[in-house]
Amino acid sequence: MTENPLLEVENLEKHYPITEGLLRRQVGTVRAVDGVTFEVRPGEAFGLVGESGCGKSTTAHSLLRLEEPTGGDVLFDGEDVLACDTDELRRFRRRAQLVLQDPNSAFNPRQTVGDAVAEPLRVHGLDDAETRRRVVDDALERVGLDGADADSYPHEFSGGEKQRISIARALVLNPDLIVADEPVSALDGRTKADVLDLLDDLQDEFGLSVLLISHDIDMVRRFCDRIGVMYLGQIVEQGPTADVIENPLHPYTQMLISSVPSLDPHASSAVVETPSDELPDASDVPSGCRFHPRCPAIIPPADVTLSREQWLDVVSLRFYLEDDWADARSARQSLPVTPTNGDSPTNSAAEIRAAFDLPATLPDEGVEDAVTGAIDALETDDLEAARQRLAEAITSVCERESPELTDEHASRPVACHRYDPDKPGDRETGIEHSIGGD
């Protein structure tokens, strides 16, 4: 495609300081958006997808300058949005409109629907009431409502209708881009599909570009031409929708897809083993690849010879010990231990191993030594030593180094060490890295 992109977002960053005390001393940083790059082309629907809290809304607000980004660049039709003065910003805001998730909070209950839809026109200086009324009627009809609805009040409409009214309000200024942040999440099944179909029709009819934001990969799949998958403030993979859905490269994308049974051809093999289920916080992002603590494909050091299950069990033990335990005793006592003999758990080495599905002896001598050493240290209440024993033996490249978004796959940039040609040692370990299959 040679056409210039309508919207270019480059390395966008929005960090929030965490402050404490009267002097508001900064004690930390929330990396809500941490280097996000993508573009939306004219007439295209681009989807940003990822779990709640990964920074989708902050990305939308920052690129529209509803909040000031702390870094990066945003170009709209070639113009530098972050350098806009007030007038330029006003023009930009006419052309790029935001539609929000919750249609109920989007309206003033005492304002008629017509006045609500006309508001952007007034704000942008269209003073003639008759013309406004014509534009409003037209917008209401475009979204499947009636011009006469302009005289009613928001409470007289269903959730789906209210979302149509929101869309009408976004359309009155003839925008080029609609940023729709979870536009149908508050709606039920049938209405959801109707509102999406409406957006789809409008997009075709008026050549609109849409940036669709959703936690629901199936919805993004149905609506978008291309997808960017976000995890903890970063895009980990992007590409044409069909490619990403049919051949997801990043383990996180694979995890999102396998959570939707209708999308995953291997749905029967469902539950994917992961080292940890917890979604980390944007104020405390993991080192290296941010996904590594949850990644079923986390790469072992080159000299480790274990099956993938064994490797993941060892990694689970390691990450379990890395949690915020007060001491070794509380770490041990929180284990789901089944007594191996007698009636009550004794937290013996055998019981600790069993809690992590570890066999009596692991086939890899180095790892086995480290695991034995760690469990011994745990039993003698030396948590730090236990952690160290495991860290020395099995720290993964995924923990040490942050993967760059490669473009080895031309249209499919992906940020995962498994696709990094410079890490052959770690890659060719004979461990089956792919998940969801085999």
Window 2 to 21, contacts with ligand ADP (CB under 6 A): 16
Q: How far is the CB of 227 from Mg ion (least distance, A)?
A: 17
Contacts with ligand ADP, 35-64, as mask; x by CB under 6 A: -----------------xxxxxxx------
Window 124 to 183, contacts with ligand ADP (CB under 6 A): none
d(CA 296, CA 309): 9
d(CA 294, CA 256): 12
Tell me the residue length of the chain.
438
3-state secondary structure of 393: helix
Q: Cβ contacts of residue 343 below 8 Å, gap of 6+?
A: none
Window 39 to 58, contacts with Mg ion (CB under 5 A): 57
d(CA 202, CA 216): 21
Tell me which of Mg ion, ligand ADP, none is bound by residue 306, counting a contact when its beta carbon lies within the kind-specific cut-off of 5 to 8 angstroms: none
Question: Toward ligand ADP, which CB reaches closer, 32 or 299?
Answer: 32
Window 55 to 74, contacts with Mg ion (CB under 5 A): 57
Window 214 to 273, contacts with ligand ADP (CB under 6 A): none
Tell me which of ligand ADP, Mg ion, none is bound by residue 32, counting a contact when its beta carbon lies within the kind-specific cut-off of 5 to 8 angstroms: ligand ADP
β-pair type (79-80, 71-76): antiparallel
Task: Evaluate whether 347 touches 335 at the Cβ level (below 8 Å).
Answer: yes
Question: Toward ligand ADP, which CB reaches closer, 70 or 152?
Answer: 70
Tell me which of Mg ion, ligand ADP, none is bound by residue 16, counting a contact when its beta carbon lies within the kind-specific cut-off of 5 to 8 angstroms: ligand ADP
Strand order in the sheet with 45-49: 96-99, 177-181, 209-214, 45-49, 226-231, 234-240
Alpha helix locations (H) across 96-150?
113-123, 129-142
Lookup: tokens for 31: 């990396």
Q: Could you say which of 135, 171, 187, 282 contacts ligand ADP (CB under 6 A)?
A: 282
Q: How far is the CB of 9 from ligand ADP (least distance, A)?
A: 14
d(CA 321, CA 400): 18
Q: How far is the CB of 235 from ligand ADP (least distance, A)?
A: 12
Question: Toward Mg ion, which CB reaches closer, 12 or 140?
Answer: 12
Question: Toward ligand ADP, which CB reaches closer, 18 or 123?
Answer: 18
Question: Toward ligand ADP, which CB reaches closer, 10 or 216?
Answer: 216
Question: Toward ligand ADP, which CB reaches closer, 30 or 397?
Answer: 30
Q: What is the DSSP string of 165-212?
A: HHHHHHHTT--SEEEEESTTTTS-HHHHHHHHHHHHHHHHHHT-EEEE
3-state secondary structure of 33: strand
CB atoms closer than 10 angstroms to residue 86? 6
Tell me which of ligand ADP, Mg ion, none is bound by residue 55, counting a contact when its beta carbon lies within the kind-specific cut-off of 5 to 8 angstroms: ligand ADP
Contacts with ligand ADP, 360-389, as mask; x by CB under 6 A: ------------------------------
Q: Could you say which of 9, 12, 30, 383 contacts ligand ADP (CB under 6 A)?
A: 30
Tell me which of ligand ADP, Mg ion, none is bound by residue 340, counting a contact when its beta carbon lies within the kind-specific cut-off of 5 to 8 angstroms: none
Question: Toward Mg ion, which CB reaches closer, 121 or 179?
Answer: 179
Tell me which of ligand ADP, Mg ion, none is bound by residue 30, counting a contact when its beta carbon lies within the kind-specific cut-off of 5 to 8 angstroms: ligand ADP
3-state secondary structure of 373: helix
Q: Cβ contacts of residue 134 below 8 Å, gap of 6+?
A: none
Q: How far is the CB of 6 from ligand ADP (least distance, A)?
A: 22
Task: Evaluate whether 23 touches 70 at the Cβ level (below 8 Å).
Answer: no
Question: Toward ligand ADP, which CB reaches closer, 40 or 172?
Answer: 40
Q: How far is the CB of 196 from Mg ion (least distance, A)?
A: 18
Question: Toward ligand ADP, which CB reaches closer, 54 or 297?
Answer: 54
According to DSSP, residue 6 is labeled S
Task: Evaluate whether 172 touches 132 at the Cβ level (below 8 Å).
Answer: no
Q: How far is the CB of 289 from Mg ion (least distance, A)?
A: 23
Tell me which of ligand ADP, Mg ion, none is bound by residue 203, counting a contact when its beta carbon lies within the kind-specific cut-off of 5 to 8 angstroms: none
d(CA 96, CA 407): 29
> Where do contacts with ligand ADP occur on this chain (CB under 6 A)?
16, 30, 32, 52-58, 282
> Where do contacts with Mg ion occur on this chain (CB under 5 A)?
57
